[in-house]
Amino acid sequence: MTTFAVFDSKPYDRASLGPAAESKGVTLKFYEFRLEPETVALVHDVEGVCVFVNDRIDAQVVAGLRDAGVGLLALRCAGFNNVDLDACHEAGLIVCRVPAYSPYAVAEHAVALLMALNRKVAKAHNRVHELNFSLNGLVGFDLNGRTAGIVGTGRIGQVTAEILSGFGMTILLTDPYPNQEWADEHGFRYVDLDELAANSDVMSLHTPLTPETLHIVDGDLLKKVKRGIYIINVSRGALVDTKALIKALKKGRVGGVALDVYEEEEGVFFEDHSDHILHDDTLARLLTFHNVVITAHQAFLTEEALADIADVTSENMRRFAAGEELLEGTVL
C-alpha cells in the first residue's frame, strides 16, 4: 500500500483527506508541523509528501526529499509560490497541485469580506453584545451603482465579478490574458491596472503570485487609486506591499481593507497565538485600524472545496502509485 506524509495538517484536513485517500488504497501519515529545512529529515518510508501553502519547499528540502526516496510532491492547494520548481524538476520530483477547487468558496468569501467591511459588521456585532445599540459610525454605502475592479480573471475572479455584478455594480477587469468572450457576454470591460485603480470603488485581487505580480499593489499604484477605495485580497499576501498600504490607510487614500492573506503570514496564520505576544509589528499595526478586516486564510474553507481538494489530491496519489499519468492539468 502506498504511503504519503501530510504536513501542516489540521483537523479538517484529516476529516476530508483521510477517508478520500483510504477509499483509493492510500495510507496517510498526518503531521501537524510544516515541512521545511528543519523537519525534512523526519521524512522516511513514504512514496510522497502532501503540503500546503505555508510549507517551505526550497532547494534544501527538495534535496532531503530526494534522499528519502520521495517521488511525488502533492500540493493540496492551487498556489505554488512556496515551491522551488526548478529544484524539484532537477531532482526528478513530480509536483502536482489542485488547480481549481470550488471557486465559489473563495469568491463568496471575498464578497463576505467586502460586505463586512462596508457595513461595519464586526463593529456592530461587538457593540450589540455590549448592549450598545447606537448606530453612530456604522454608515456604509450601496454597492449598487458603484464600480468594482477585478484584478485577475481566472475562475475565482470571474465568479467574484459575476456576484458583484448581481449587486448592480459596474465591473472593470484587468488581466494579461483577457477572457474577452466572457467579458463581452456579461457586459464587463477590460482596462489597464492604473485605469482600474483610478475608477474603482472596490478593487478585489484574484491573481497568482509571480515575480511580475509581487507587490502589484505598491506605493505607486496606491497614489493613483480612487480616494476612499476598498481593497480586498483573498489571493496571495505578497500581492500587496503592506507597509505602503498602511501609509495609504493613514492618509485616507484607501478607505478600507479586507484581507484573507498577508505577505508574512507563515508561522502566524493557521495557528493559535492567543496566549502569546504578536511579534509582527506590521500585522499588529494593521489590526489597530477600525477600517481593516482580516481573516486567517480561510477563504477556501468550505465543505465543497475540501471535498474537491481531497478528491484530486488522493486520486493523484493513487495514480502515482499505480504508475499512471496524473490528472490532466495538475502537474507543474
Tell me, yes or no, whether 331 lies in a domain.
no
**What tens digit of pLDDT does each residue of 59-95 get?**
999 999 999 999 999 999 988 989 999 999 999 999 9
For residue 114, which of 44, 203, 37 has the smallest C-alpha distance? 203
Q: Answer yes or no: is pLDDT of 277 > 90.
A: no
Residue 294 predicted with pLDDT over 90: yes
Catalytic residues: 236, 265, 297
Residues 121 and 52 in one domain: no
- Give the pTM: 0.89
Q: Is the pLDDT of residue 1 over 80?
A: no
Please report, for residues 109, 157, 209, 295, the alpha-carbon distance to residue 74 in angstroms, rounded to integers and kept in the order given: 25, 25, 19, 26
Domain that holds residue 58: 2-101+302-322
pLDDT-based confidence at residue 157 (cuts at 50, 70, 90): very high
Residue 20 belongs to some domain of the structure: yes
Q: Residues 241-261: what's their mean pLDDT?
A: 97
Task: Find how far residue 261's CA is from the centre of its chain.
Answer: 6
Domain membership flag for residue 317: yes
- Name every residue whose Cβ is closer than 8 Å to that of residue 326 and which is 6 or more positions away in sequence: 94, 96, 316, 319, 320
**pLDDT (tens digit per residue) in 298-322:** 999 999 999 999 999 999 999 999 9
What is the rounded CA–CA span in Å between residue 188 and residue 211? 27
Statement to judge: residues 89 and 107 lie in one domain:
no
CA 89 to chain centre: 25
Residue 278, domain CATH = 3.40.50.720
Is residue 328 a part of any domain in this protein? no
Q: Does one domain contain both 167 and 311?
A: no
Same domain membership, residue 147 and residue 11 = no
Count of the separate structural domains present in the chain:
2
